[in-house]
Amino acid sequence: MSERKVAIVTGSATGVGAAAAILLAEKGCNVVINYTRSKAEAEETAAECRSKGAEAICVQADVSDDANCRAMAQAAVDEWGRIDYLINNAARTKFNPYPQLDGVTKQDFLDIYAVNVVGAYQMIRAVEPHIRKNRGAIVNDSSIGGVTGIASSIPYAASKAALNLMTKSLAHVLAPEVRINTVVPGMIQTRWLKGGMGDEQYEAMLESTREQLPLKDVATAEDIAETLVFFLIGAGSRLVTGETLIVDSGIHIGQLPPYSSGEDY
């Protein structure tokens, strides 16, 4: 059995998942890098983890498939003999304007829930006996859409709301050996956000967004990774479970209402 603790990060070839895997490697964990299609990027992330002194393996797996989830957990156990941490970061969406209700089908809901909710549950179930044995921790990567209802699509927002509530339910079930929490990011500067936009359009969108945020800044993948990893191994996290932490530069609190004097209140 490895003396180093072991973490699985789903959807970790790029973006927040990759940043979280690299940070865990920096902090002394061996890491499973998970991908579905981005093999080259997964290998690059694994190489970056190894450059931090950690061991890393890449596992192709679709978390919507229970057998894939169990195989990923087994790969970690076969390689290192243990699992201590899980970050559920893999996610799926379908970009669709909210007013276009006909743009979303039943299958869209099923496909999105299969990854964002069922997939997270299946991964937790697959690793649970190992993490419980090691008194480890789990963190789910959600979205501000699961709180405000505004996101890339209605099914995506609804799935993240379900993930937030599922975390609270599982906090009871997994205690006292395992802590589980959720991080709720707002906008994040990632390839997924940029989509098909050109550089100028993307930068203009970021600048416009910054002006609407109380803290006037848009999170990076590394910002969210730091919060995810805090819930696993951060000082002060030992007694935190069932928590849903919003990391969105303050957008959920809204704009400060204008007023002329204290007499208005």
- Residue 145: pLDDT band (50, 70, 90) is very high
pLDDT exceeds 70 at position 1: yes
Q: Residue 259's pLDDT band (boundaries 50, 70, 90)?
A: very low
In tens, the pLDDT along 109-136 reads 999 999 999 999 999 999 999 999 999 9
Say if residues 83 and 134 touch (Cβ distance below 8 Å): yes
- Is the entire prediction scored with pTM above 0.95? no
- The residue to which tokens 């203009």 are assigned: 204
Longest dimension (CA), the chain: 68
Number of structural domains in the chain: 1
The verdict on residue 151 lying in a domain is yes
Q: Is residue 258 part of a domain?
A: no
The reply to whether 261 falls in a domain is no
Side-chain half-sphere exposure of 176, counting CA atoms within 13 A: 1
For residue 195, the model assigns a pLDDT of 61
Dihedral over alpha carbons 25, 27, 30, 33 (to 10 degrees)? -40
Q: How far apart are CA 14 and CA 79, in angstroms?
A: 23
Inside any domain, residue 264:
no
Question: Other C-beta atoms within 10 Å of 65: how many?
Answer: 15
Instruction: Report the alpha-carbon distance of residue 143 to residue 149 in Å, rounded.
Output: 10
**How much is the pLDDT for 265?**
33
Residue 204 resides in a domain: yes
Q: Which whole number is the average pLDDT over 29-55? A: 98
On whether residue 35 sits in a domain, the answer given is yes
> What is the CB-side half-sphere exposure of residue 99 using CA atoms within 13 A?
0
Asked whether residue 84 is domain-assigned, the answer is yes
Q: What is the DSSP letter of 117?
A: I
The catalytic residue among 85, 156, 259, 265 is 156
The pLDDT of residue 255 is: 58
Least confident residue range of 1-15, 93-107, 241-255: 241-255
- Crossing angle (nearest 10°) for helices 221-233 and 15-26: 50
- Residue 108 belongs to domain spanning: 6-251
- At 107, which CATH number? 3.40.50.720
Based on the residue annotation, tell me whether 259 is a catalytic residue of this protein. no
Q: For residue 192, what pLDDT is reported?
A: 64
Report the mean per-residue pLDDT for the chain: 91
Residue 167 lies in a domain: yes
Where residue 206 falls among pLDDT bands split at 50, 70, 90?
Answer: confident
Residue 120: which residues within 8 A CB-CB, separation 6 or more? 63, 88, 90, 140, 163, 166
